[in-house]
Structure 1
Amino acid sequence: MENQGGITVICREQDGAFVMIKQHEHGRLAGEFAANFKEEQVPVPRRRAEVLRAISNHDRGWIDLDETPFWNDAEGAPYSFIDFPVVPKLTFYRRGLNEIEADTQYGALLCSLHFERLIEVSGEENPELNNYLKDEAERRARIHRELEQNADPIGEAELYYDARLLQFCDDLSLYLGLNEPGSPKSEEHPWWTDGFSGSEDFSFTSGRVITAEWQDASTLLLEPFPFTREVEVTFSLRRVSLSDIEDKGIARAYHETPDEECSITVSPRPEEAV
């Protein structure tokens, strides 16, 4: 297989093709969800614009790499964000965080915490990971100090809520990428079998975990419903056929596959009032 570039797409296999979504496209989608989240939940509204920009850009470190795939010989599939090698992944985490911090210090703090949680959940161990975690702890401590010096301290409730918002919107965006629209609950990706972890912490859920189920190929139902209204989102993907990959290599097959648009409406269950 041809082995050029380095995409960390959201990727699933379906009907003789790999369905591939760029990381930054996924981030933009997460930002749309965050913009429609129930605003009465926001503890400190003054930083709302920063939070929305951070969520939309949390995977911006991958923008340049989102052009050409790497092929993972061991898995017989393109590398995805799940199995991309640790050392280069950390490099692009840092790059993205630096770019976010240039725009919003609070947003960089929020995204740094998010990536730390992902690393902890993965259970990976590597000397480079330890160095990364140490550097990011120092970044967050510095941001806390600088915001306090500017008389703009961060409250614990504020940071906890915003971290949960990023986690949920990231998960919901991933859900759309890793599940085939309209698929039955029995075929749901295993990450969300028990719902969206952490969503029970939002006060409107009354301790319930938000769960998802497809009504049809264009409508996803959530309960409890987290948005102010039905949310329709549109995102780009590519269906790269296995036969094209075998004939041309992953890089050329990906570049010659046109973008498709997928539109999904996220709605409450019929019996649930928005």
Structure 2
Amino acid sequence: MIVQTANPGQPRFIIRQIDHARACATFARAFGNPAFAPLEPAAEVVFATAQHDSGWEPIDALPGRDPQTGLPWHLGQGPLADRLRANAGSAALAERDNAYVGLLVSQHTWRLWGGQHDGGMVIDPDLDPGARALVEALLRGEAARQARLLAALTGDPLLAPLASPDWRRYNDLRLRFFDRLGLYFHLTHPAARARATFDRVPRSVNDESALTIESVGNDRYALTPWPFAGNELVFETPGRWLLPLPPDADFAHALRYAPVDTQRAVLTAG
């Protein structure tokens, strides 16, 4: 779950990880203009973006309660084993669609836990030995998955050229941008969204740029330089409003029947 910030005493907007990912696919579908090369392979990158958190669905269906907040465990929190299982599960589910989609989602999982584009690993040094062993096992599993998927792609005349190291990094950075732009909206409530910069957004293979976003009022946000088709883009995300709950509350029931809403933002060319 993503537990969006709120002013003190106000309900929190709760977003399922799969709804976050599907909303991020809005950016993928619209990406590309004369200054930013369109997606290639388009269908696979869009689908990978929409599915990059699909392994969270069973966990978000029965969310755990953070005893410190009385709310669902927020992104990056909660039991480590659950988080690792969800991320590996996302790659496993994506692989069922096709090898390239699985490769992109596996690369996303690999990067989240310290994997580098050159194949190295930079794991959080603050992890205790037991936690580090779990993360290392996840990374070894994703490295093996990627090797298997790359072998499968060698026989595909359309996708094999797009599985080169440069193209894998290129499309991973694009998925990274769509994810981070979605998190800009999902992590922070509208009144608190500050100016932000997104680094390493690809214009084309081996050509990257930094993009800046800032609120211009009335749920509108200027993005500079503009990477999408057209001059504006509507971004919508479903979620539920929830106040903290006591330990003895029926947590799943409360979340299931919490008020449903949709947050809306309009991105414009800066």
TM-score bracket for this pair, using the shorter chain length: 0.7 to 0.9
Aligned 8 A contact 1:183 1:214 in 2? no
Q: Deviations over 1:104-135 (max 9, x none)?
A: 21111111111111111872552111111111
Taking structure 1 as the reference length, what is the TM-score of the superposition?
0.82
Cα distance in 2 for partners of 1:257, 1:77 equals 12
User: What's 1:63 paired with?
Assistant: 57
User: What's 2:119 paired with?
Assistant: none
Q: Which moved more, 1:213-222 or 1:65-74?
A: 65-74
User: What's 1:264 paired with?
Assistant: 265
Q: Which residue, 172, 176, 184 being the options, matches 2:181?
A: 172
Give 2:4's aligned amino acid: C
User: What does 1:101-120 align with in structure 2 at a 5 Å threshold?
Assistant: 101-120=95-114
Cα distance in 1 for partners of 2:84, 2:132 equals 11
Give 2:185's aligned amino acid: L
Aligned 8 A contact 1:10 1:80 in 2? yes
Q: Deviations over 1:1-43 (max 9, x none)?
A: xxxxxxx334324342222111000000111101101156448
Q: Which moved more, 1:106-115 or 1:70-79?
A: 70-79
Q: Which residue, 3, 12, 24 being the options, matches 1:18?
A: 12
Give 2:174's aligned amino acid: L
User: What's 1:252 paired with?
Assistant: 253
Q: CA deviation at 1:157?
A: 3.1
Cα distance in 1 for partners of 2:45, 2:178 equals 12
Q: Secondary structure at the match of 1:210?
A: strand
Q: CA deviation at 1:58?
A: 0.7
Q: Secondary structure at the match of 2:210?
A: coil
User: What's 1:148 paired with?
Assistant: 154
Cα distance in 2 for partners of 1:239, 1:76 equals 13
Cα distance in 2 for partners of 1:175, 1:10 equals 13
Cα distance in 2 for partners of 1:24, 1:134 equals 25
Cα distance in 2 for partners of 1:30, 1:107 equals 15
Cα distance in 2 for partners of 1:103, 1:173 equals 23
Going from structure 1 to structure 2, the CA distance change for 1:39 and 1:63 (only over 3 Å counts) comes to farther
More strand by share: 2
Q: Deviations over 1:217-269 (max 9, x none)?
A: 41121111111121112211212123xx2384543332221211111111122
Aligned 8 A contact 2:234 2:267 in 1? yes
Cα distance in 2 for partners of 1:211, 1:262 equals 21
Q: CA deviation at 1:61?
A: 0.8
User: What's 1:212 paired with?
Assistant: 213
**Equivalent pairs: percent with the same residue?**
25
Query: What is the count of residue pairs matched by the alignment?
Result: 250
Q: Does 1:160 align with 2:160?
A: no
Aligned 8 A contact 1:27 1:170 in 2? yes
Q: Which moved more, 1:145-154 or 1:23-32?
A: 145-154
Cα distance in 2 for partners of 1:109, 1:175 equals 25
More helix by share: 1
User: What's 2:45 paired with?
Assistant: 51
Cα distance in 2 for partners of 1:235, 1:119 equals 26
User: What's 2:143 paired with?
Assistant: 137
Aligned 8 A contact 2:200 2:208 in 1? no
User: What's 1:222 paired with?
Assistant: 223
Q: Secondary structure at the match of 1:228?
A: coil
User: What's 2:203 paired with?
Assistant: 202
Aligned 8 A contact 2:200 2:209 in 1? no
Q: Secondary structure at the match of 1:84?
A: coil
Cα distance in 2 for partners of 1:44, 1:19 equals 31
Aligned 8 A contact 1:211 1:223 in 2? yes
Q: CA deviation at 1:142?
A: 1.1
* Cα RMSD for the two superposed structures: 2.5
Give 1:144's aligned amino acid: L
Q: Does 1:32 align with 2:26?
A: yes
Going from structure 1 to structure 2, the CA distance change for 1:57 and 1:268 (only over 3 Å counts) comes to same
Q: Does 1:98 align with 2:92?
A: yes
